[in-house]
A = this chain, B = another copy of it.
Amino acid sequence: MADLLPGAWRACVGTGRFNLSLRRDHQESLALVQREIGFTHIRGHGLFGDDVGVHRPYTHGGEHRVRHAFTYVDQVIDAYLELGVRPFLELGFMPHELASGEQTIFWWKGNVTPPRDHDEWAALVRATIGHLVDRYGIEEVRTWPIEVWNEPNLKDFWQDADQAAYHRLYEVTAKTIKEIDASLQVGGPAISPGSDEWMTDFADFVATRGVPVDFVSRHAYSSHPARHVPFATLQDLAPAETLLEQFATPRRQLAGGPLEGLPVHITEFNTSYRPDNAVHDTARNAAYLAPVLAGGGDVCDSFSYWTFCDVFEEVGIPTSILHGGFGLLTHRQLKKPTYHLYAFMARMGSRIVSRGEDHLVTRDERGRVTALAWALQPRRIRLPLPSGEHFVVRSTVNEEYGNLRRAWLEMGSPHSPTARQLDALRELAEPYRTHQRAAGGVLELSLAENEITLVEASPVIEEAPPWPLL
């Protein structure tokens, strides 16, 4: 019997900082992504950023007090739920007035220092999660994983990459959350690649101290060091297997230990970790990631593409419609090749028929067979088709077709395209599609450089009458 295709590939997707979800362009992109792909959860930084305005100290009667305000929190989460996606909460960064230091990260200045007062931090967590439970109900909120901080193993993201300080923050936070409701899910340590020992240290810490933990998380990127040019960054990539190895590491690390069997979430992944690397806009990015999407679900419980759209400002406001952003979509919803990779995955059936290094074949309950094939270099692939007449549609994205960036370069790289140029790019970003009636048997596919191809074969039920119509 055929295996089920795991849903890990669409269990989560990344987004720019929390405040950016208030934007119309962001929500229109999310609506499109949800209609054609359908992610389960969404995760981004900055829930506690100053531009969300939750932690609001003031003085009254000579006393220091704090109002917790959810004006923007509610607007964003209402919008997520309306669009059919749930938050994967990340608690951070530090509100300016609760911070112990001045160190910040990103153009938008997220403070990365520990709280000046752990009780006040706990009160912030309690008020926020408590408010969400009141507003959305505990049945709902317990389906939202809560991750403590982001990449504390990096000095840029957590002052001095101080592990003890992170463990303390985690403990205070996790206990506060469990006091609200024991069924809420909390986890960490949300580490970046390159400090794998933090995972085992974290496991030891929580086990030793009896600190609650419901899942573990880490990130995965496969790019080499960066060379900078104005408004852009260039990097080489390691082979795609690197990503799958990073996905697989936590389960291997936890095996045999106290956290064995806990869900493993890869809460960020991509080729490059830079939001200004043109690789994200290329057909190569899609072809490179295809085996990662096809196979990632074997080794972890979710892996979250960083990010679903280019509404994102970590290195500043984009100066051009294409700028190497992380997004599956650009501003104004132009589709990049990697968008199509996800949209192709969303058309796969629930059962795996066959898999290989260059393809994945599935079947759905109505007998439709779907094949995803990929290639970085031109190659020929033979896929088995069931017997009988089929209607076969092939959708192709490669250097030549479905390649937004190529069309845009030929157009003259317009930074601010006109309405007419946007329409043209929208049309040219669509995959090349062919169709045929095919008898069953083997299907031969020729793949070009950096190609992803989706083949959908549906059994034909012939309704044409016996008489001629033309």
Contacts and interface: CB of A to CB of B under 8 A. Distances in A.
A331 interface: yes
Which of A65, A71, A78, A407 has the most CB atoms of chain B within a 10 A radius of its CB?
A71
Interface string A63-104: 001010111101100110000000000000000000000000
A53 B436 contact: no
A28 to B, nearest CB: 9
A316 interface: yes
Main secondary structure of the interface of A (DSSP, over half): mixed
B414 A463 contact: yes
Given A391-B412, A412-B461, A433-B428, A69 B319 contact: yes
Nearest to A364: B420
A22 interface: yes
One complex includes copies of this chain to the number of 4
A463 B468 CA distance: 55
Contacts of A282: 470
A317 interface: yes
A131 B410 CA distance: 21
Contacts of A317: 51-53, 69, 71-72
Contacts of A469: 229, 232, 234, 278, 324
A209 interface: no
Nearest to A232: B469
Interface residues of A, number: 79
A56 B406 CA distance: 25
A25 interface: yes
A70 B321 CA distance: 10
Interface string A222-254: 000000011110100000000000000000000
A53 B410 contact: no
A432 B458 CA distance: 23
A437 B410 contact: yes
A464 B409 contact: yes
Contacts of A24: 22-24, 27, 79
Which of A72, A419, A430, A465 has the most CB atoms of chain B within a 10 A radius of its CB?
A465
A27 B234 CA distance: 37
A379 interface: no
Given A22-B24, A464-B412, A230 B59 contact: yes
A467 B411 contact: no
Contacts of A59: 230
A135 B462 contact: no
Nearest to A134: B418
A415 B321 contact: no
A318 interface: yes
Q: Which 5 A-B pairs have the closest CB atoms?
A: A53-B317, A69-B319, A413-B464, A58-B230, A412-B460
